């Protein structure tokens, strides 16, 4: 990087800090819990949609998408395309329940619907998962960006990222996170578009890229025998993981909880659903470009995950390289700040407040700030252990969440659809799903020494296995619920379809904007159908 690149990166940091401190000071975010953890419940749709997109895209996400594109083509983009459908589900189905219940966290919603047991389970699983995977991986990715693209020592880079992100998260709470996410969305998309456009020019355009890469690289639908993305797994397994991530994970849902009303929350999810159609073109396609250029000897990369860094280093001019590096930093900082804020919210409300229910608002805000600082420290302390354990073991650590998510999706979905679901059923579903998920994880880790039926179970595609866990969890939930009394009508108020006030299900909200939301949602469905058709070879 040259002086101009450093100026661009410096300007990015100055802009992010300026926006963060302005938003935190302007809204006096440290005064009460609603302001600090939910941005005063007064956020508009554009900010919500931008934050949903930016917080979802981390640096490791960018590198992984480009790497998967280089290794196998556009099939990995199915998860991004499907996210659009799941976001519509969040906005049109889940949002009314979440906002009417007035909860701060997703575990709190489970307690309202079932009992304290499911709440404690989800809170602990989420916090441990955030610390062991999301926080540490994102911090490590920041160190790698600084080391490989900016020539700064790994640990120095990791410290810069975590300290910078921690400072504005502690200061401004969720509002600072939301506003900086919006800035980072523009930087992220701008940098990615720059890489894509210059890369396409280098290979001779879109049609030439298709010819050089081959039809298989532009096929979203892989056969049943595909080891990674079989079409059955994409259609039936991926949506299960998507419901857990987009509709029940605190990391994501906290953004819609901050909306000023149901319309803005829903509109934000529709906006984010459109944004999620971009990664196919601006993150995956650059990976395919890198693959084509490496085949012709114009680009050097030893492995697929080097596709994006290799493109940045080889093709981008001075200044523009700094913009793309700023985009990478924007991706990881937006994800990291979101995890810090969401995890501190879980610690504050689902653990601390349960132990000390009488404490005041300001006290809880301080607990949230201290929790964020502790998370910063835990993330840094965990990185050396990541370097000590094998890459294979760490991959399994990350996949834990994929295997425990189906039962969580089941208790949320069945909980709002069927009024007969009760605490006994929820606990049974979570227990069965957890045992199956951890069992699969153990089998995977010992796959080399297995044979017979155990080897078969360990070899089932992870998306197919997610379907098995989900079905088993639903069966357990229904069966166990039938052995106990159904919840009372008072307990179910605003928590199931049959107990939602007419105001939310009738026609009173069918104003101009709601009609526009419906039309935009239909337009998105048409766009997704077109993408599925166009990328079918």
- pLDDT bucket at 267, cuts 50 / 70 / 90: very high
Which domains does the chain possess?
Answer: 3-388+520-534 (1.20.1730.10), 390-487 (no CATH)
Return the structure tokens found at 146: 């600084």
Give the sign of the dihedral formed by CA 164, CA 167, CA 170, CA 174.
negative
**Helix/strand/coil for 43:** strand
By percentage, how much of the chain surpasses pLDDT 70? Answer: 92
Residues 6 or more apart in contact with residue 45 via CB below 8 angstroms? 259, 263, 264, 265, 266, 267, 268, 271
Residues 6 or more apart in contact with residue 381 via CB below 8 angstroms? none
* 495 within 8 A of 101, measured Cβ to Cβ: yes
* 177 within 8 A of 338, measured Cβ to Cβ: yes
Closest CA to 61 of 276, 214, 319: 276
Residues 6 or more apart in contact with residue 149 via CB below 8 angstroms? 1, 309, 312, 313, 325, 328
Look over the chain and give the mean of its residue pLDDT values, rounded to a whole number.
86
Region at 39 (left for phi over 0; alpha for psi -120 to 50; beta for the rest): left
pLDDT at 63 over 80: no
Burial string for 297-326 (b: 16+ CB within 10 Å, else e) reads eebebeebbbbbbbbbbebbeeebbbbbbb
| C-alpha to C-alpha distance for 410 and 478, rounded to whole angstroms | 10
Closest CA to 421 of 328, 347, 326, 486: 486
Count the Cβ atoms, other than its own, within 10 Å of residue 387: 10
CA distances from 385 to 36, 378, 393 (A): 32, 11, 11
CA 153 to chain centre: 28
Give the model's pLDDT for residue 59.
62
| C-alpha to C-alpha distance for 354 and 376, rounded to whole angstroms | 23
pLDDT at 265 over 60: yes
Return the structure tokens found at 269: 């999810």
Phi then psi for residue 104, to 5 deg, are -95, -30
Look at 36-50, 146-160, 322-336, 418-432 and tell me which has the smallest mean pLDDT. 146-160
User: Which tens digits make up the pLDDT trace of 325-342?
Assistant: 888 888 788 888 888 989
Q: Can you tell me the mean pLDDT for 408-419?
A: 94
Phi then psi for residue 255, to 5 deg, are -70, -45
Burial string for 479-503 (b: 16+ CB within 10 Å, else e) reads ebbeeeeebeeebbebbbeebbeee
- The dihedral over CA atoms of 499, 353, 268, 281, expressed in degrees to the nearest 10, equals -120
| C-alpha to C-alpha distance for 280 and 76, rounded to whole angstroms | 8
| C-alpha to C-alpha distance for 44 and 49, rounded to whole angstroms | 9
What pTM did the predictor assign? 0.90
- pLDDT bucket at 117, cuts 50 / 70 / 90: very high
**Helix/strand/coil for 510:** coil
- pLDDT bucket at 504, cuts 50 / 70 / 90: very low
| C-alpha to C-alpha distance for 141 and 138, rounded to whole angstroms | 5
Return the structure tokens found at 453: 């039926």
Give the model's pLDDT for residue 130.
84
Q: Please, which residues bridge with residue 43 across strands? A: 259
Q: Please, which residues bridge with residue 222 across strands? A: 230
| C-alpha to C-alpha distance for 289 and 292, rounded to whole angstroms | 5
Local structure of residue 298 (DSSP, 8 states): S
Return the structure tokens found at 204: 């001779």
Burial string for 6-45 (b: 16+ CB within 10 Å, else e) reads eebbeebeebbbebbeebbeebebbebbbbbbbbbbebbb
pLDDT at 365 over 50: yes
DSSP notation for 198-264? HHHHHHTSHHHHHHHH-GGGG-S-B-TT-SS-BHHIIIIIHHHHHIIIIII-HHHHHHHHTBSSHHH
pLDDT at 499 over 80: no
Give the model's pLDDT for residue 309.
80
CA 125 to chain centre: 16
Give the model's pLDDT for residue 31.
63
Return the structure tokens found at 326: 């700023």
Give the model's pLDDT for residue 361.
85
By percentage, how much of the chain surpasses pLDDT 90? Answer: 44
Phi then psi for residue 259, to 5 deg, are -65, 150
Give the model's pLDDT for residue 381.
80
Give the model's pLDDT for residue 201.
94
- pLDDT bucket at 507, cuts 50 / 70 / 90: very low
* 212 within 8 A of 292, measured Cβ to Cβ: yes
* 136 within 8 A of 387, measured Cβ to Cβ: no
- pLDDT bucket at 510, cuts 50 / 70 / 90: low
Q: Can you tell me the mean pLDDT for 97-116?
A: 90
CA 458 to chain centre: 26
Closest CA to 97 of 504, 521, 509: 504
| C-alpha to C-alpha distance for 346 and 348, rounded to whole angstroms | 5
């Amino acid at each position: 990087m040259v002086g101009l690149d450093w100026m661009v990166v410096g300007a990015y940091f100055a802009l992010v800090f300026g926006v963060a401190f302005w938003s935190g000071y302007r809204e006096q975010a440290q005064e009460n819990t609603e302001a600090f953890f939910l941005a005063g419940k007064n956020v508009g749709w554009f900010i919500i949609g931008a934050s949903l997109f930016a917080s979802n895209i981390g640096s490791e996400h960018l590198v992984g998408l480009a790497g998967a594109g280089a290794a196998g083509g556009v099939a990995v983009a199915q998860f991004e395309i499907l996210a659009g459908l799941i976001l519509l589900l969040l906005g049109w189905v889940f949002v009314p329940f979440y906002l009417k219940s007035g909860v701060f966290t997703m575990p709190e919603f489970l307690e309202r619907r079932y009992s304290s047991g499911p709440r404690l389970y989800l809170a602990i699983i989420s916090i441990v998962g955030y610390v062991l995977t999301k926080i540490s991986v994102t911090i490590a990715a920041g160190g790698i960006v600084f080391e490989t693209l900016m020539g700064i020592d790994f640990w120095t880079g990791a410290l810069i990222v975590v300290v910078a992100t921690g400072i504005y998260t502690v200061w401004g709470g969720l509002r600072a996170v939301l506003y900086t996410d919006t800035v980072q969305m523009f930087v992220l998309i701008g940098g990615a578009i720059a890489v894509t456009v210059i890369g396409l020019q280098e290979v001779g355009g879109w049609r030439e890229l298709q010819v050089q890469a081959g039809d298989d690289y532009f096929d979203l639908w892989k056969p049943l025998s595909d080891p990674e993305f079989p079409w059955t797994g994409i259609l039936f397994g991926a949506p299960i993981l998507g419901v857990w991530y987009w509709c029940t994970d605190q990391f994501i849902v906290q953004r819609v909880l901050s909306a000023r009303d149901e319309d803005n929350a829903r509109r934000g999810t529709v906006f984010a659903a459109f944004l999620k159609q971009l990664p196919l073109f601006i993150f995956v396609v650059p990976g395919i470009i890198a693959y084509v250029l490496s085949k012709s000897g114009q680009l050097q990369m030893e492995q697929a995950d080097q596709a994006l860094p290799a493109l940045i280093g080889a093709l981008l001019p001075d200044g523009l390289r700094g913009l793309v590096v700023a985009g990478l930093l924007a991706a990881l900082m937006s994800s990291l700040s979101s995890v810090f804020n969401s995890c501190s919210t879980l610690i504050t409300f689902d653990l601390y407040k349960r132990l000390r229910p009488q404490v005041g608002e300001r006290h809880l805000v301080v607990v949230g700030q201290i929790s964020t600082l502790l998370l910063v420290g835990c993330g840094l302390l965990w990185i050396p252990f990541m370097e000590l354990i094998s890459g294979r073991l760490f991959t399994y650590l990350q996949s834990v969440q994929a295997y425990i998510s189906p039962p969580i999706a089941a208790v949320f979905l069945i909980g709002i659809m069927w009024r007969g679901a009760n605490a006994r059923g929820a606990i049974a579903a979570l227990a069965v799903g957890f045992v199956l998920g951890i069992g699969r994880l153990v089998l995977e880790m010992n796959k080399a020494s297995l044979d017979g039926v155990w080897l078969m179970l360990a070899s089932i595609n992870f998306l197919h296995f997610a379907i098995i866990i989900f079905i088993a969890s639903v069966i357990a939930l229904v069966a166990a619920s039938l052995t106990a009394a159904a919840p009372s009508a008072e307990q179910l108020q605003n928590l199931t379809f049959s107990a939602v006030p007419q105001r939310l299900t009738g026609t009173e909200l069918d104003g101009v904007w709601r009609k526009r939301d419906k039309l935009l949602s239909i337009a998105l469905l048409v766009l997704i159908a077109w993408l599925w058709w166009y990328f079918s070879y």
